[in-house]
Chain A
Amino acid sequence: MRLTRFQPIAISAACNVFGNGENRRSKPGRSRLAYNCGVERGSSSAGSFGASSHLISGMAAIEILGLEKIYSVGFWRKTPKCALKPLDLRVEEGEIFGFLGPNGAGKTTTLKLLMGLVFPTSGTAKILGREIDDPVVKAQIGFLPEQPYFYDYLTARELLEYYAELSGVDAGVRSAKVRQVLDRVGLHDAANLQLRKFSKGMLQRAGIAQAIVHDPKLLFFDEPMSGLDPMGRREVRDLMEELKREGKTVFFSTHILSDAEALCDRVAIIHQGELKGVGAVAELTSSVAGQVEVAWRGGAVPASLKSLVIESHVAGEMVRALISEDKQDAMLDGLRREGLRIISLTPVRSSLEEYYLRRVQPSMASAGARS
């Protein structure tokens, strides 16, 4: 049994959100009703998860219905290549939504479909209740593509001014906003440097800058942390949380689960063009069978407590023991009685990684078997 690290997320009953309809305890304020998490089309039923679910009224930030993309590859004999199977998804305003999946899963395709860069084979999508190509919508979204490349003959300031112009930012406030955004992403000193001289991290920051310069309500980031060093990734994560605090919605794709776990309210997992799972991070990583890990300074488990312990592990001067949640208080009392120094008490949860692998692995295994 894997002992996982601490996550400051509420304890809930183990729940595989998929079609079980089991009882869940939801943390107030954090949970959202997860619609359409089935793989099959047509399972777009609302409210199928019990009376405790909160009904969200009003318009979704992003609403995707049956969005599908099939490319025909090849010059003579056109072989169809399915990049995205019919997708149903809903993202609410003000949340950070993570779109997870391995490379080639269809994340970028989905983003491109939402940006209007490619046209769907079938299905629709709405942003803020309007059509994708509505200019009103486009003025309120910001997009950071994967490994972006910008006009390298422009300086950072010129680039942002250009993008601000195109997004319809008022001429009067343009320069001020550009300056503001440059400061915010930490490119103040490089404002007049041509982009061809930028490092990868600086380019990523410039990319974020152009996505936020016109103060959009929704942000779409495609692998925003790729190629960044840990400090850069930290900065981007902080920025994304800042954006959420400002009330913006952030939809980003990534294959780095730790980022998703740290940032997202909800995630969707996609693999080989198919949606494999959707849900609040809290629920997807809920604890397993109500277990708790206790760690104390010592060399062994005291005999009196051995009956409480499911599993234990000693490393140096520290003992870690896995106990059942309801035995928690008894254990703590017992340790205090023995005069042992308690180091930590951690709920045991499955990680997002486990959930992810569970969702992705079967298909990978079957894909392996097929090929």
Chain B
Amino acid sequence: MKARIGHIASNTFREAVRDRVLYNLIAFALLMSGAAILVGQISIDIERLVVVNLGLTAVSLFGVVIAIFIGIGLVSKEIEKKTLYTVLSRPVRRWEFIVGKFFGLAGTLAVNTFFMAIGVFAALLYVSHQFQASDGWILVALYFIVLQFLIVTSLALLFSSFSSPLLSAVFAFSLFIIGSFAEDLRGFAAMAHGLGRWLATGAAYLVPNLSALNVINSVAHAQPVSSQLILANSVYALLYAGMALCGAVLIFERRDLK
């Protein structure tokens, strides 16, 4: 069982790589280099700020775009192209397929983030000429970004299991935007009354809490991140991704592959 999931995951990774996904790293590298050089010309004291802010935001956005674009096709493309037929006629369970795909894409994003992290730190070194102790928090921010990818990937996969690529992209992207304002949504819900309050509260808790995973600004200002938050966010991301995957499995298990 584990072996099959592993094989599906590594094949998904291979597909992403051969689809030239990793070329996005080139665009990223250009962006970071350009920013680092430009910023070095502006006034002192904010170069670090700009590099960290820009770098981490780019890592986050590039990754989310990749997660959505590849994620929406993970299942629907296989059904459309009928490559799934020869896979499922083998002793591969449908849920193993979903889980394998998830790990494949998550792994791709993790590798992608790793290389981007190197880029960010390289740019940081260029403008600051040395690392500070507080730069360690950037790693936490990157870890949170990876957690965010897990959530977005699982959502894209969920939508891919029943919906066309276009709709999946719209849903996933919408949830990403709303999730980035999840805390505000909860505040909103707290101020509403009656039926609206119930609906808003329900929605506010179902939407992924991506705003808590965004500590980019804080680490840019060299603020520490509480270990409580690190733990809570990790647990939350795993639970949320698990939830979306269960949904995907439930849907895919009973789907007729026409």
Contact = CB atoms under 8 A, between A and B. Distances in A.
Interface of A: 71, 112, 115-119, 135-136, 138-139, 141-145, 147-151, 153-154, 162-163, 165-168, 207, 210-211, 214, 220
B130 interface: no
B91 A210 contact: no
B84 to A, nearest CB: 8
A142 B14 CA distance: 24
B2 interface: no
A141 B89 contact: yes
The 3 closest A-B pairs by CB, nearest first: A135-B91, A143-B89, A138-B91
B221 interface: no
Interface residues of B, number: 26
B127 to A, nearest CB: 39
Interface stretch (B57-65, B159-167, B250-258): B250-258
B83 interface: yes
A156 to B, nearest CB: 14
Contacts of B257: 112, 117-118
Contacts of B3: 165
Contact of A166 (B81, B91, B258): B91
A149 B83 contact: yes
A17 to B, nearest CB: 32
A167 B90 CA distance: 6
A164 to B, nearest CB: 10
Given A117-B257, A118-B258, A162-B11, A167 B85 contact: no
A147 B86 CA distance: 12
B45 interface: no
A145 to B, nearest CB: 4
A345 B84 CA distance: 52
A314 B122 CA distance: 92
A149 B11 contact: no
Nearest to A142: B89
A22 B166 CA distance: 61
B256 A151 contact: no
Interface in B79-95: 81-93
A116 B81 contact: no
18 contacts: A71-B256, A71-B258, A112-B257, A115-B85, A115-B88, A117-B84, A117-B85, A118-B256, A135-B91, A139-B91, A143-B85, A145-B82, A149-B82, A150-B86, A153-B19, A165-B3, A166-B91, A211-B86
B183 interface: no
A154 B84 CA distance: 15
Nearest to A166: B90
Nearest to B100: A166
A139 B90 contact: yes
B15 interface: yes
Given A118-B257, A153-B18, A153-B19, A166 B83 contact: no
Contacts of A141: 89
B7 interface: yes
Given A71-B258, A148-B85, A151-B15, 5 more contacts: A115-B89, A163-B86, A166-B8, A167-B91, A207-B86
A166 B11 CA distance: 11
Given A166-B7, A166-B91, A167-B90, A153 B83 contact: no
Contacts of B258: 71, 118
A154 B83 CA distance: 12
A166 B91 CA distance: 7
Given A118-B256, A149-B81, A166-B7, A143 B19 contact: no
Contacts of A144: 86
A153 B15 contact: yes
Contacts of B89: 115-117, 138, 141-143, 220
Interface string B1-37: 0011001100100110011000000000000000000
B7 A165 contact: yes
Contacts of B90: 138-139, 163, 166-167, 214
Contact of B11 (A115, A136, A138, A151): A151
A345 B89 CA distance: 48
B83 A150 contact: yes
A83 B218 CA distance: 60
Interface string B74-118: 000000011111111111110000000000000000000000000
Interface string B49-77: 00000000000000000000000000000
Among B19, B82, B84, find the residue whose CB has the most chain A CB atoms closer than 10 A.
B82
Contacts of B92: 138, 166
A56 to B, nearest CB: 26
Nearest to A134: B91
A137 to B, nearest CB: 8
